[in-house]
């Protein structure tokens, strides 16, 4: 007999809006100035996280402590880091931190070892000049990010990424490659994702068509469901596993990094893991007011839920980090794009912001005008490396100068009086100066964080990614939502399957809206 009891969420859970600590926090946040110009920099796992450009007051610091206590922050953090059930709606742990432990549990250590041996063997045989990495979302972005960041100037192996179901993606990904020297990597936690399996089939057909004798020997699978990959035809020694307790968007730390290792070496993977693990230790141990992920999370909550900013801009001042924006976009928006709390009710307080961005200085010539003088504005996370890895110090000085200047402009703004004086100093006549000065005013007081990496080492990038992961966890905890599920994405997948059947001749569902029904009819062959 079915259990008739109604699950009402974790016992003792209170919606955020009903917590007295939230009311105090909200008031304190409204009364905490953004540009009081006092320096607040937190050093964490080698990163310098400058939160001087976020609202601050002693009252807000106290309210932050109280709110986190009300949410059992210490207990919940330990539960996460020790592999307890953090993902309550899917009833499993979210234990990605176990993958980067210096001394991991046996099953993790064994897969790490297998991966290293695979790469060593390929290197010693000088095989696979091309790697085609097929995966989407969390099975794609982290690898792209690492390969871009450390292979930006080229590597012995060329990596091609194929994610989209759009056939042009696989067509372009395979174009011009020597099939006999190409390894296909299929990365999919579930091994059911339509994009990955379809693109995988096309790659298999391509290998066969090119006369490759044993095409399955040129395919590797990375998945949490190895038995499905075996059924697909992939030999056991070519299937790398990870576990159900690793969320897809956190799977970069698993064997999914095989492509990274083949491209830029296992040292890079190990370095990223070490940096992330150092950030885990910081998150576990640092007191709240010196805890970088916590402070980043809480200023994000002030900006989103109190000040009403609908989005967060990520501005990495590093050309090599162009994939950082979609990576953080998935991590934040798939995790925090929810408005139902753990008890099943509406949060009724704005939760996860839209995340967007582009590397500086390109971003300055694209949308920074909107950040400076647009009616909405957005908080900005500036990310920059103190030291560059190229040989042109002038370039780097200019990059740093631009980063600091944009941030200062957002923070301090420019008053009407200053703008007027500038116009007059330029020799403008009085009337024109008074008119034009209005257009040159910057409101200022727009929040930002500056994250400084000593240089873009694997260690620093690992620490940076773990910083955002833990920030997302803290925000989910405070808002009272589960950052580890993604039911919204699942619904669209189900609808797409039905429409695909209709496009292939099945009767059209009468429950479609008029527009969808029209286009299904149009697109049916």
Sheet holding 41-44, edge to edge: 41-44, 47-50, 448-453, 380-385, 311-317, 354-357
Output the smallest distance, CB 139 to ligand F6P, in A.
Answer: 4
CA angle 443, 449, 453 (to 5 degrees): 140
Token pair, residue 61, equals 């610091």
SS3 301: helix
Output the smallest distance, CB 490 to ligand F6P, in A.
Answer: 8
Token pair, residue 123, equals 């290197």
Output the smallest distance, CB 173 to ligand F6P, in A.
Answer: 17
Contacts with ligand F6P: how many residues (CB under 6 A)?
Answer: 14
Query: In this chain, which stretch among 39-47, 186-194, 456-464, 474-482 interacts with ligand F6P, using CB under 6 A?
Result: 186-194
- What would the x/- binding string for ligand F6P be over residues 359 to 378, using CB under 6 A? --------------------
- Residues 168, 215 contacting (CB under 8 angstroms): no
Token pair, residue 398, equals 């200019």
Output the smallest distance, CB 332 to ligand F6P, in A.
Answer: 13
Among 32, 64, 182, 188, binds ligand F6P (CB under 6 A): 188
Query: In this chain, which stretch among 26-34, 101-109, 187-195, 454-462 interacts with ligand F6P, using CB under 6 A?
Result: 187-195
Q: Which residues are catalytic?
A: 334, 365, 493
Q: Is 189 in the site for ligand F6P (CB under 6 A)?
A: yes
Report the length, in residues, of the chain: 525
Q: Is 273 in the site for ligand F6P (CB under 6 A)?
A: no
- Residues 342, 13 contacting (CB under 8 angstroms): yes
Q: Is 275 in the site for ligand F6P (CB under 6 A)?
A: no
Beta carbon nearer to ligand F6P, 247 or 379? 247
Beta carbon nearer to ligand F6P, 21 or 332? 332
Partners of residue 432 on adjacent β-strands: none
Beta carbon nearer to ligand F6P, 49 or 132? 132
Among 190, 339, 415, 422, binds ligand F6P (CB under 6 A): 190
Output the smallest distance, CB 290 to ligand F6P, in A.
Answer: 32
- What would the x/- binding string for ligand F6P be over residues 41 to 80, using CB under 6 A? ----------------------------------------
Sheet holding 130-134, edge to edge: 158-162, 130-134, 182-187, 219-223, 239-241
- Residues 155, 305 contacting (CB under 8 angstroms): no
Output the smallest distance, CB 268 to ligand F6P, in A.
Answer: 21
Partners of residue 382 on adjacent β-strands: 315, 450
Site for ligand F6P in 20-39 (CB under 6 A): none
Beta carbon nearer to ligand F6P, 247 or 377? 247
Beta carbon nearer to ligand F6P, 123 or 244? 244
Among 71, 186, 486, 502, binds ligand F6P (CB under 6 A): 486
Among 54, 193, 254, 299, binds ligand F6P (CB under 6 A): 193
Q: Please provide residue 114's backbone torsions phi and psi, each rounded to the nearest 5 degrees.
A: -60, -40
Among 196, 255, 291, 295, binds ligand F6P (CB under 6 A): 196
Beta carbon nearer to ligand F6P, 308 or 492? 492
Output the smallest distance, CB 137 to ligand F6P, in A.
Answer: 3
Beta carbon nearer to ligand F6P, 254 or 266? 254
- What would the x/- binding string for ligand F6P be over residues 130 to 149, using CB under 6 A? ------xxxx----------
Buried b (16+ CB within 10 A) or exposed e, 116-126: eebbeebbeee
Site for ligand F6P in 280-339 (CB under 6 A): 334
Q: How far is CA 73 from the centre of its chain?
A: 22
Beta carbon nearer to ligand F6P, 229 or 314? 229
Output the smallest distance, CB 334 to ligand F6P, in A.
Answer: 6
3-state SS of 97-141 is HHHHCCCCCHHHHHHHHHHHHHHHHHHHCCCCCEEEEECCHHHCH
Residue 74's region, left for phi above 0, alpha for psi from -120 to 50, else beta, is: alpha
Tokens 């990163």 — which residue? 47
Among 18, 209, 489, 506, binds ligand F6P (CB under 6 A): 489
Site for ligand F6P in 200-259 (CB under 6 A): 248-249
CA angle 92, 97, 100 (to 5 degrees): 135
Q: Which long-range contacts does 65-72 make (Cβ < 8 Å, 24+ apart)?
A: 65/288, 65/289, 66/21, 66/24, 66/25, 67/19, 67/21, 67/22, 67/24, 67/25, 67/478, 68/288, 68/294, 68/474, 68/478, 69/21, 70/14, 70/19, 70/21, 71/477, 71/478, 71/480
Beta carbon nearer to ligand F6P, 326 or 379? 326
Output the smallest distance, CB 226 to ligand F6P, in A.
Answer: 13
Residues lying near ligand F6P in the complex (CB under 6 A): 136-139, 188-190, 193, 196, 248-249, 334, 486, 489
């Amino acid at each position: 007999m079915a259990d008739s009891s109604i699950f009402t969420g974790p016992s003792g859970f209170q919606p955020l809006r009903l917590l007295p600590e939230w009311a105090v926090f909200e008031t304190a946040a409204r009364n905490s100035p953004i540009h009081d110009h006092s320096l607040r920099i937190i050093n964490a796992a080698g990163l310098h996280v400058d939160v001087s450009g976020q609202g601050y007051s002693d009252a807000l610091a106290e309210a932050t402590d109280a709110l986190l206590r009300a949410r059992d922050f210490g207990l919940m953090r330990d539960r996460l880091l020790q592999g307890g059930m953090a993902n309550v709606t899917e009833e499993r742990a979210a234990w990605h931190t176990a993958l980067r432990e210096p001394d991991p549990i046996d099953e993790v250590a064994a897969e790490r070892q297998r991966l290293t041996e695979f790469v060593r063997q390929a290197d010693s045989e000088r095989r696979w000049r091309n790697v085609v990495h097929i995966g989407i979302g969390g099975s794609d972005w982290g690898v792209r990010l690492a390969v871009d960041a450390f292979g930006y100037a080229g590597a012995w192996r060329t990596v091609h990424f194929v994610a989209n179901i759009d056939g042009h993606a696989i067509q372009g990904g395979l174009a011009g490659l020597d099939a006999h020297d190409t390894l296909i990597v299929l990365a999919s936690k579930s091994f059911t994702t339509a994009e990955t399996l379809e693109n995988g089939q096309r790659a298999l057909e391509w290998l066969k068509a090119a006369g490759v004798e044993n095409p399955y020997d040129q395919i590797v699978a990375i998945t949490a469901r190895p038995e499905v990959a075996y059924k697909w035809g992939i030999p056991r020694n070519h299937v790398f596993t990870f576990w159900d307790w690793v969320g897809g968007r956190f799977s970069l730390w698993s064997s999914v990094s095989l492509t990274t290792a083949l491209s830029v070496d296992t040292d890079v993977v190990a370095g990223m893991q070490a940096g992330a693990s150092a950030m885990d230790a910081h998150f576990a141990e640092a007191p709240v007011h010196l805890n970088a992920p916590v402070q980043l999370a809480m200023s994000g909550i002030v900006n989103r839920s109190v000040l009403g900013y609908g989005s967060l801009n990520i501005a990495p001042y590093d050309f090599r980090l162009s994939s950082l924006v979609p990576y953080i976009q998935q991590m934040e928006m798939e995790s925090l794009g929810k408005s139902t709390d753990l008890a099943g009710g509406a949060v009724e307080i704005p939760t996860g912001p839209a995340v967007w961005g582009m590397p500086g200085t390109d971003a300055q010539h694209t949308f920074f005008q909107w950040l400076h003088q647009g009616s909405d504005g957005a908080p900005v996370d500036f990310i920059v490396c103190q030291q560059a890895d190229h040989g042109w110090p002038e370039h780097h000085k200019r990059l740093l100068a631009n980063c600091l200047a944009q941030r200062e402009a957002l923070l301090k703004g420019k008053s009407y009086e200053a703008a007027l004086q500038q116009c007059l100093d330029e020799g403008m006549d009085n009337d024109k100066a008074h008119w034009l000065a209005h257009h040159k005013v910057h409101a200022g007081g727009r929040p930002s964080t500056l994250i400084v990496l000593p240089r873009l080492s694997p260690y620093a990038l690992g620490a940076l990614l773990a910083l955002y992961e833990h920030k997302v966890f803290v925000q989910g905890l405070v808002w009272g939502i589960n950052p580890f599920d993604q039911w919204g994405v699942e619904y669209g997948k189900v609808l797409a399957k039905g429409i695909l059947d209709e496009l292939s001749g099945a009767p059209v569902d009468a429950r479609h809206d008029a527009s969808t029904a029209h286009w299904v009819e149009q697109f049916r062959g």
